[in-house]
A and B are shown apart, each in its own frame.
Chain A
Amino acid sequence: MICCKECIDLLYDYIEGSLDQDTSKSLEEHFEECPPCIAFLNTYKSTTTICRDTLNQIEIPDEVRRALQSFLKEQKGQQDKK
């Protein structure tokens, strides 16, 4: 049976679905016998989801948007004069 260390080294490819059948099977056998590694797998996956959901909430604040708009206008104005 593979050990926890090997199991965690394989997690990335396991989630991507890029492990070959045999390796995938031995990993799943390990999970059956090892609740801590299942907990690890679940929290590893959750980590990605909650970080993505949190960091993706960034919107451009209104004042920045306004500043960018006038900046672009200015740049275009300079270009038109050339």
Chain B
Amino acid sequence: MSFTQQKEDREIEEALVRDLQAGNLDAYDKIAELYQKKIYALSFNLMRNQMDAQDVTQEVLLTLFRKINTFQGKSAFSSWVYRITLNASYMKLRSKKKEPNISIDELLPSFNGAGFQQEKIQDWSENTESLLFTNETREVINKAVGLLPEKEKVVFLLRDVEGLSTEKVSEILDLTIPAVKSRLHRARLFLRKKLSGYFEEYNSQKGET
């Protein structure tokens, strides 16, 4: 998205927020239309359950409506929406029994004493095309992301999936920029390792036939 486009979007958004604060209900529809997909997708990716994501989306839309006058414009409106979405999703998750997370360290790369890689690394990056978008691959990816510890998962979803800037993610999560970077790097290493198992196996099967 170009800078001018971003600036225009921001101005439209600010105008909508002012209208809603002034009690204009049409502005509410527009804000809901602009944000409901983002809210739904983020909460769905965090919880992987349609009913829960629907509940959270409704709750967030209601909160936007009721609390719009507490929004002071210190951060971007969208950051405020993301924060409300995260809080609502975490509340929902907490009310459910959680599967224990596996330790992320187990899946980080290992090195020998001299700092050289110990495992054999296959390059499967060229061979993912035919596998992408099959149900099995989607399942593997969703499962891998689901296994990420919460701290890393939320950074990964906002930065890599939503495509927000590092600065924006740091604003939403109230983290320093280095903390955002380090969590994202760990998330990518974890996912790379998880996906490697799957794609390497596929490559070796292909080699046999």
Contact = CB atoms under 8 A, between A and B. Distances in A.
Interface of A: 3-6, 8, 11-13, 36-40, 42-48, 50-56, 58-61, 64, 67-68, 71-72, 75-76, 79-80
Contacts of A75: 61-62, 65
Contact of A55 (B61, B117, B145): B145
Q: Which of A6, A37, A64 has the most CB of B within 10 A?
A: A64
Given A12-B184, A47-B188, A50-B141, A71 B125 contact: no
Given A46-B124, A58-B41, A40 B62 contact: no
Interface of B: 25, 28-29, 32, 36-37, 40-41, 44-45, 50, 53-54, 57-58, 61-62, 65, 109, 111, 114-117, 120-126, 128, 132-133, 137-138, 141-142, 144-145, 156-157, 160-161, 163, 181, 184-185, 188-189, 191-192, 195-196, 199
Interface of A is mostly: helix
Contacts of A36: 117, 120-121
Contacts of B120: 36
Interface of B is mostly: helix
Contacts, number: 132
B28 A76 contact: yes
Nearest to B37: A60
A60 B50 CA distance: 9
B45 A72 contact: no
Contacts of A38: 123
A44 B189 contact: yes
28 contacts: A3-B111, A3-B114, A4-B116, A12-B184, A37-B121, A39-B123, A43-B124, A44-B189, A46-B124, A47-B191, A50-B128, A52-B160, A52-B163, A53-B132, A53-B133, A55-B41, A55-B45, A55-B141, A55-B161, A56-B41, A58-B40, A60-B57, A67-B54, A68-B54, A68-B57, A71-B61, A75-B61, A76-B29
